[in-house]
């Protein structure tokens, strides 16, 4: 993709993988619209990258409407990165004990909000031959004890992505398992063990390359992309 005049909207961009993706795209000349809940950290990233920023919760319809207005004022959108995500109840409970109200809220954040953003962005993405990058997890496909709530939301996001890829011929749709990274979310989930995980910067570079190379829509694992094991077609 020629990135000279491309614009991307990235959620959860104040830290972790979202910030890493934003940094990698900025180095490739992308214009960026960034959002996250923490205004201070988000503004710091926006200043560093020369991006536009709007703090708020992607589960809030009013905030999504403001993001849509911001994208329109930027002249349209070429890439939507649904990276913002909640972990759910902690310490991670077994499904037999999972608080259903918390799970409902988690689906709002991890499934419904990304789909709502997709719906807002699709007209521009169709017109500009754009792309959607949804960040998922190996918890979507593996049966890890304690990860049932989070994993169920990511499994739902993966299937939404799968169907979107079948329905939207003019838009590339990738859903990516980034692998274990040293993030606040992982630390909240498993504690100090996360200190052994790699920083997300490398995955940010891998995903920026994915966008640039624009393979066919499909599921991807960052580890496979790094190894050159996936070069095109649905994974």
Active site residues: 150
Identify the CA nearest to 211 among candidates 30, 14, 13: 30
Phi and psi angles of residue 31, each rounded to the nearest 5 degrees, phi first: -80, 140
Residue 34, classed as helix, strand or coil, is: strand
Q: Taking a C-beta distance cutoff of 8 angstroms, is the pair 95, 149 a contact? A: yes
- The set of residues, in sequence order, having a beta carbon less than 8 Å from that of 204 and lying 6+ positions away, is 17, 19, 20, 21, 22, 23, 24
Indicate the helix (H) or strand (E) that contains 132.
Answer: strand 131-135
- Please give the structure tokens belonging to residue 2: 């020629």
């Amino acid at each position: 993709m020629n990135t000279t005049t491309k614009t991307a909207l990235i959620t959860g961009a104040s830290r972790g993988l979202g910030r890493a993706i934003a940094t990698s795209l900025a180095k490739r000349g992308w214009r960026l619209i960034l959002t996250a809940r923490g205004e201070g950290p988000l503004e710091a990233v926006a200043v560093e990258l020369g991006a536009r920023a709007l703090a708020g919760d992607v589960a809030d319809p009013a905030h999504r409407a403001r993001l849509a207005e911001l994208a329109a004022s930027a002249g349209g959108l070429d890439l939507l990165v649904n990276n913002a995500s909640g972990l759910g109840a902690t310490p991670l409970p077994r499904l037999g004990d999972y608080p259903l109200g918390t799970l409902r809220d988690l689906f709002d954040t991890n499934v419904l909000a990304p789909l709502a953003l997709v719906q807002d962005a699709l007209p521009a993405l169709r017109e500009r031959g754009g792309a959607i990058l949804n960040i998922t997890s190996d918890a979507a496909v593996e049966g890890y004890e304690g990860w049932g709530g989070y994993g169920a939301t990511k499994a739902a996001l993966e299937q939404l992505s799968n169907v979107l890829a079948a329905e939207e011929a003019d838009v590339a749709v990738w859903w990516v398992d980034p692998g274990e990274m040293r993030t606040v979310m992982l630390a909240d989930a498993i504690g100090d063990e996360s200190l052994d995980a790699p920083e997300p910067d490398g995955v940010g570079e891998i995903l920026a390359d994915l966008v640039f190379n624009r393979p066919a829509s499909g599921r991807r694992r960052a580890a496979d992309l790094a190894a050159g094991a996936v070069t095109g077609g649905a994974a």
